[in-house]
Amino acid sequence: MEMSNSNRETILRSIRANLPSTGVQHPGIRDFGRPAGALKAMFEQRLKEAGGAAHDVGSVAEAASKLRLLHPDAKVICSAVPEIAGTRRVEKVRDPHELADVDVGVVRAQFGVAESGAVWLTQEELVVDALGFLSQHLIVLLDPKQIVPDMHAAYRRVRLAETAFGCFMMGPSATADVEATLVHGAQGARTLNLFFL
Amino acid sequence: MSAPRQVNPAAAAELFIIQDQIHEPMHDRFLWGAMQRRHAEAAAIPEWEELREIASKIKEHTLTHLDHYLEEFEANATKRGAHVHWAVDATDHNQIVYSILQGHSVKELIKSKSMLQEECQMTPFLEHRGIKVIESDLGERIQQLDDQPPSHIVFPAIHKTRQDVAQLFARTIGTDPNNDDPHFLTEVMRNNARPRFLAAGAGMTGGNFAIAETGTFMVCTNEGNADIGAAVPPLHIASMGIEKMIPRVEDMGVFLRLLARSAEGAPLTQYSSHYTGPRKGGELHIVLVDNGRSRRLGMPDFWHSLKCIRCGACMNTCPVYRRSGGLAYGATYSGPIGVILDPTFDEFKYSELPFHSSLCGSCSEVCPVKIDISDQILKWRRVMAEKGYLPLAKRLSFAVAGHVFAHPAEYQLVEKAAEPAMSYAPHFLMYNHTLNPWIRDRELPRPAKQSFREWYLANRSEHGNVQQ
């Protein structure tokens, strides 16, 4: 677009004319050295504070029955993981609008972050991004060995250049916009249950 | 065009305070609660102060190499398939967004919260041209239904009670005006918003950070509303100020550890979403907006304000903001950060804002990127004085003060005279709300029996050469 090109030059020219005279060096980020161990307990505690819940499940069968126990009335269970069949496979979804009726979405996270209780989900795990946000409830699978201590470690692990979408998801949707009262299920998932599997 | 009038934050704040005994104390309490949670989170991280220093330096580094990082961001985002646009000013921004929407025959747009889009007055621009714009953040939607701008950059409707929201929803959505349970009200909005998300031809977001290294931008929300808007409609438009740049992916660790802790005392927002090029089957447009930012970069006293990551901690800690309510500032940005940003858009209109501060300095202490906010407020006062924008009352009293402070003998005389006056002046005179609206509910300190000079002469004069 021609107008956009001239805008671009106008802005860059103005920036160059106004740049502060002394450039500041990038400070670098040192290793803050987090002790390993007890990451799972910290992760579980933080997830709970964020409104989510973690469950130890011993097997795929136990995961499936736990899901039914948590969501006995669920009609549409859309799964993105091989372990849980669900009633709909997300790979079959052509358009995100088709996910409007999903009661429970099931997805596996790449890893969790102990300092927040957040999990890292990308387009590759979700298959259709909207699965993570239109589903009324979410079940997230996480290998308990895949927990990093903090956000520094987390950003060393993400591959942003290789995925169009990635999200640190910390528990279910929340708002405190009415009288600073915490309410879960504002627009995204109402609940988030995490299975260590 | 009529000349813009100066906003009068003190008068507007007084209306907020005197309306009843409920709104202002509630507002004060909620924001102070967020501040206390912030303090607890900060105290739990041993390297907190070091993180602030690193974040500050990364921002300064990026801003002093901004042209380079913008070009790097553009190249990487384009490589990933995003369309990058550049907007010189607000009208440019709105026009670009409108052209994209028009090109896709979009009639309904669902958007998440964006202070930049507020700054550009985008919604009225688009609605005037026949495009329906729906805010999807609960607080923003409340404000949109009430035809008010956001009063806080993180908690847009924090000045409203649950009864206010219940009445508003009854009026605009038709719900029970007596059901003011926040759970009910949130559920009303969820059910109201879902069909809009599904019907919208485009979703729009802002951007909290843009990573030059990968051409990624990221958006933080608690509701997941930005994510639905980005993931469901076929078209995603994101607009952000040029100052949102960050050099590398690794830098994000520092900023995300600081942002939500500073904003609301949580380790993160519920959703921290990263967009690198369009999603499968989608189309992505990014609008980079200057709107006065490059000019601000050339202001030696004020360019550090471009480091702001919009957490709102300065507002939550500010004793003046907590008691005034954000709407009192009459500007897009309120609170201490607003006081130093707004005059860069219009010095005359916002000339009163730098005086809407106690200069206590708390804002600078909590700022996660160490902006010298209170120093800048003082510098803006000087600008306003030099431009002759001070109202008459302030001009006169400052002129007297300036003269007195410049003449030590007169200062001593005035000081001696003021002491008994402060001790014995009738309460109604000292606490006259008309003469001094700030005095309401605030007790002046008791004047000391002895001035510092008298104390020094009596106790320490042997150490110095004090002229009598």
Residue B250 is nearest to which of A20, A155, A189, comparing CB atoms?
A155
Instruction: Residues B45-291: name the CATH superfamily.
Output: NagB/RpiA/CoA transferase-like (3.40.50.10420)
Cα distance between residue B9 and residue B453, in whole Å: 37
Q: Are B82 and B239 contacting, i.e. CB atoms less than 8 angstroms apart?
A: no
pTM of the model: 0.91
End-to-end CA distance of chain B: 60
CB contact under 8 A, A160 and B277: no
Q: Count Cβ neighbours within 10 Å for each residue of B58-81 and write b for 16 or more, e otherwise.
A: bbbbbbbbbbbbbebbbebbeebe
Residue A188 is nearest to which of B155, B158, B228, comparing CB atoms?
B228
Confidence of residue B468 (pLDDT cuts 50, 70, 90): very low
- Give B121-153 pLDDT, tens digit per residue: 999 999 999 999 999 999 999 999 999 999 999
Cα distance between residue B296 and residue B318, in whole Å: 24
Q: Which residue has the higher pLDDT, B200 or B403?
A: B200
Distance from CA of A29 to the nearest CA of B (A): 7
Cα distance between residue B251 and residue B254, in whole Å: 6
Q: State how beta strands B209-211 and B83-87 pair.
A: unpaired
Cα distance between residue B98 and residue B215, in whole Å: 23
Among B115, B110, B382, residue whose Cα is nearest residue B231: B110
CA-nearest residue to B77 within chain A is: A161
pLDDT at B431 over 70: no
- Give B418-430 pLDDT, tens digit per residue: 655 555 554 544 4
Both structure tokens of A119 = 């999990």
Confidence of residue A2 (pLDDT cuts 50, 70, 90): very low
Residue B57, beta-bridge partner list? none
Cα A16 off chain centre by: 38
pLDDT at B465 over 70: no
Give the per-residue pLDDT at A5.
77
Give the per-residue pLDDT at B409.
72
Distance from CA of B419 to the nearest CA of A (A): 44
Give the per-residue pLDDT at B430.
46
CB contact under 8 A, B155 and A152: no
CA-nearest residue to B22 within chain A is: A179
Helix (H) or strand (E) segment spanning residue B18: helix B9-18
CB contact under 8 A, B66 and A19: yes
Give the per-residue pLDDT at B4.
55
Helical H segments across B298-443, by residue range: 313-317, 319-324, 335-341, 362-366, 373-386, 392-406, 408-424, 427-430
CB contact under 8 A, B225 and A187: yes
Residue A152 is nearest to which of B183, B253, B276, comparing CB atoms?
B253
Residue A195, beta-bridge partner list? A55, A141
Q: What is the DSSP letter of B118?
A: H
Q: In the structure, how many helices (H) and strands (E) does chain B have?
A: 22, 10
Q: State how beta strands A88-89 and A53-56 pair.
A: unpaired
- Give A18-51 pLDDT, tens digit per residue: 999 899 999 999 999 876 669 999 999 999 999 9
Report residue B366: phi and psi, to 5°.
Answer: -100, -15
Give the per-residue pLDDT at B444.
61
Cα Rg, chain A, nearest whole Å = 21
CA-nearest residue to A101 within chain B is: B194
Q: Are A117 and B211 contacting, i.e. CB atoms less than 8 angstroms apart?
A: no
Give the per-residue pLDDT at A1.
46
Q: State how beta strands A165-169 and B271-275 pair.
A: antiparallel
Residue B60 is nearest to which of A24, A116, A173, comparing CB atoms?
A24
pLDDT at B367 over 60: yes
Range with the poorest average pLDDT among B17-26, B70-79, B392-401:
B392-401
pLDDT at A10 over 80: yes
Among A100, A45, A59, A105, residue whose Cα is nearest residue A80: A105
- Residue B466's CB is within 10 A of a number of other CB atoms, namely 11
Query: Is residue A2 within 8 angstroms of chain B, CB to CB?
Result: no
Report residue B141: phi and psi, to 5°.
Answer: -65, -40
Q: Please enumerate in sequence order all residues whose Cβ is within 8 A of that of B303, keeping only pairs 6 or more positions apart, or say none.
A: A20, B63, B296, B297
Distance from CA of A185 to the nearest CA of B (A): 7
Range with the poorest average pLDDT among B54-63, B95-104, B419-428:
B419-428
Confidence of residue B432 (pLDDT cuts 50, 70, 90): very low
CA-nearest residue to A12 within chain B is: B67
- As for the ipTM of the complex, it is 0.97
Q: Are B350 and B343 contacting, i.e. CB atoms less than 8 angstroms apart?
A: yes
Residue A141, beta-bridge partner list? A108, A195
Q: In the structure, how many helices (H) and strands (E) does chain A have?
A: 6, 12
Express as a percent the part of chain B with pLDDT over 90: 82
Helix (H) or strand (E) segment spanning residue A47: helix A39-49
User: Which domains are present in chain A?
Assistant: 37-196 (3.40.50.10420)
Query: Is residue A186 within 8 angstroms of chain B, CB to CB?
Result: yes
Give the per-residue pLDDT at B443.
59
Based on the number of CB atoms within 10 Å of its own CB, is A62 exposed (0-12), middle (13-18) or buried (19 or more)? middle
- Give B7-58 pLDDT, tens digit per residue: 999 999 999 999 999 999 999 999 999 999 999 999 999 999 999 999 999 9
Cα B317 off chain centre by: 12
Over chain B, what is the mean pLDDT? Answer: 91
Give the mean model confidence (pLDDT) for residues B101-127. Answer: 98
Give the mean model confidence (pLDDT) for residues B373-397. Answer: 86
Q: Which of A169, A175, A183, A192 to mutate to test the interface with B (most CBs of B within 10 A)?
A: A175
Residue A177 is nearest to which of B57, B138, B183, comparing CB atoms?
B138
- Residue B436's CB is within 10 A of a number of other CB atoms, namely 13
Q: Are B109 and B138 contacting, i.e. CB atoms less than 8 angstroms apart?
A: no
- Give B220-258 pLDDT, tens digit per residue: 999 999 999 999 999 999 999 999 999 999 999 999 999
Express as a percent the part of chain B with pLDDT over 70: 86
How many contacts (CB atoms, under 8 Å) link A and B? Answer: 268
Give the per-residue pLDDT at B45.
95
Give the per-residue pLDDT at B410.
65
Give the per-residue pLDDT at A146.
97
Q: Which residue has the higher pLDDT, A195 or B459?
A: A195
Q: Give me the residue spans of the domains in chain B.
A: 45-291, 392-463
Helix axes A2-18, B66-79, angle to 10 degrees: 150
Residue A189, beta-bridge partner list? none
Distances (CA, A) of A3 to A11, A12, B95, B204, B288: 12, 14, 11, 22, 14
Give the per-residue pLDDT at B1.
43
Give the mean model confidence (pLDDT) for residues B429-441. Answer: 50
